Amino acid sequence: MNTLTKFFNPFWKNPNTSSSYEVIENEVIKASDLKGLTISGSLFSLTTFKNVTFESCVFFGSRMENCTFEDCKFINCEFQFTTLEHCNFASVSFSNCKWDISPIRKNRFENCRFDDKTSYFATKACNFNKLTSCMTHREAFRRQEGLRQDEIMEKQEVTATILPPIPSEAELASISTSMEGQKLAA
């Protein structure tokens, strides 16, 4: 397992300002697949991530502020005691992510896809995030399936079978009585 680590003490009153951070600032990270990386006690500031996939990564006791994420994916990632603040997310996908005491606040999300947990934390009113044209994976799936159903309906000839109306209880009783009468006659 690869680790980017700096000292972090979660029991201090404000661990995000009292501890030292490994600072990554004014960097551009492009077209990378980061798998199984543990990022601990790091500060990412004014850093741009383009077409980066974070898979099974753990962000522990870190801060990401004033960063830009474009066409990135977070898959099976864990955010623990990590703050994401004043970041811009464009066409970013979050899939099966876990959030433990990790605020997502004052960020901008455009055309992003969220798993249910990320959606919950990103849309909380107290976090002051701005979301534009974002949806959950569930909504995207429904929309995609809806389009497929529309295509199928356009290609298929619609035929309908008209069934007779369902008889009322009185009509059923009368039919039952007449059938019993026919059995006795036979």
Q: Where are the domains of the chain?
A: 2-140
129-162, pLDDT tens digit by residue?
999 999 887 776 666 666 555 554 444 444 444 4
For CA atoms 60, 66, 67, 71, give the dihedral sign. positive
pLDDT at 37 over 70: yes
Which pLDDT score is estimated for 169? 78
Beta-carbon contacts of residue 46 (< 8 Å; ≥ 6 apart): 25, 26, 66, 67
| Higher pLDDT among residues 14 and 66, named by residue | 66
Nearest by Cα to 59 from 99, 26, 28? 99
96-125, pLDDT tens digit by residue?
999 999 999 999 999 999 999 999 999 886
Tokens (6 digits) for 71: 């066409």
Whether 48 contacts 26, CB under 8 Å: no
**How many Å apart are CA 186 and CA 180, to the nearest integer?**
10
One-letter amino acid of 30: K
What phi and psi, each to the nearest 5 degrees, are found at residue 70? Answer: -125, 125
* pLDDT band, residue 182 (cuts 50/70/90): low
Which pLDDT score is estimated for 11? 43
Predicted TM-score (pTM) above 0.75: no
Q: What is the CATH number of domain 2-140?
A: 2.160.20.80
**How many Å apart are CA 185 and CA 36, to the nearest integer?**
82
Provide the percentage of residues in the chain whose pLDDT is more than 90.
55
E strand or H helix at 37: strand 37-40
Give the DSSP letter string of 124-166. Answer: -GGG--EEES-EEHHHHHHHHHHHHHHHHHHHSPP---PPPPP
* pLDDT band, residue 5 (cuts 50/70/90): very low
